[in-house]
Amino acid sequence: MQQERARALFAKYGLTLESHEWFAAAAPAPMVPRVEKPIRMRVHRSCHLCGTLYGHDKMCVQCEHKRCKYCPRYPKKKTPADKAKVKDKEQDAVDPPRKKKLFTVTTRHGNELTYQPATQRVRRTCHRCDALFVPATATVCASCSHVRCTRCPREPAKRNKWPAGYPGDVAADSDGDDDDRDMEKPLEQFRRIWRKPRRIVRWECEQCHGLFRQGSPQCPGCGHERCDRCTRSP
């Protein structure tokens, strides 16, 4: 296609194009693969007398001082201790140590409270006065001075572990008074109380046949005042 265009262009101006005068286009250059090289660090040295950076030569351009061991180096050369720290950091990054979860909450007074795992709360109740033992490890009831015994309930109960009584409990008293009190508690719960039966009276409006509200003498639908012709049920 390029040759045809070239011949047409030459014929336009009265010229001739021979085949041996045609120059073929150069072949594209082959793809050169990328060579991976390690990253090099640039080290700068400065003169300790005038502070001028050294070039390719080891001679200062400003004061012609020959580079010595007192001329500072940037970055600084790592010591064996620094290399050991870097190695430890790399190991920690690969396998970080598991740390205990610490969750702090700030109160209104500015104090910090540390999160603690949930624990089971144990409550002991006196079987005489139904009062809680405060604290739960107390053995004497603060309300009736009763010594905690095996009949005082525990919440949550663990009878399968301590069938004869929980640790710290004394033997239950066999007094008749305690038995009577224990028998009276269920009787009080299921005792039948007689109350006078109540009857609900409903009035119906004679005009709109709507129901009056309880305790109101006026119909909520049409505003009619309740009279003798209004129907009463029952």
Task: Match 């594209």 to its residue by tokens.
Answer: 28
Say if residues 153 and 128 touch (Cβ distance below 8 Å): no
Condensed to tens digits (0 to 9), the pLDDT of residues 22-44 reads: 766 666 777 778 888 888 888 88
- Confidence grade of residue 176 (pLDDT, cut at 50, 70, 90): very low
> Position 10: which residue type?
F
| pLDDT digit string, tens, across residues 41-74 | 888 889 988 888 888 888 888 888 988 988 998 8
pTM of the model: 0.31
Tokens at residue 101, please?
A: 């979860």
Does residue 177 carry a pLDDT above 80? no
222 and 205 in contact (C-beta within 8 Å)?
Answer: yes
How far apart are alpha carbons 149 and 138 in whole angstroms? 12
Listed by start position, the domains of the chain span 44-78, 102-183, 201-234
End-to-end CA distance of the chain: 113
**The pair of three-digit structure tokens given for residue 5, joined into one six-digit string:** 């265009």
To the nearest 5 percent, what fractions of the chain are helix, strand and coil? 20, 15, 65
Dump the DSSP string for 34-45.
Answer: PPP-PPPPP-EE
CA torsion through residues 142, 147, 153, 159, sign: positive
Give the ranges where the chain is alpha helix by DSSP (H).
2-12, 80-94, 176-190
What tokens does 75 get?
């970055």
**Three-state DSSP state, 94:** helix
Provide the 10 A C-beta neighbour count for residue 148.
22
Mean pLDDT value across the chain = 81
- Which residue's entry shows tokens 């107390």? 138
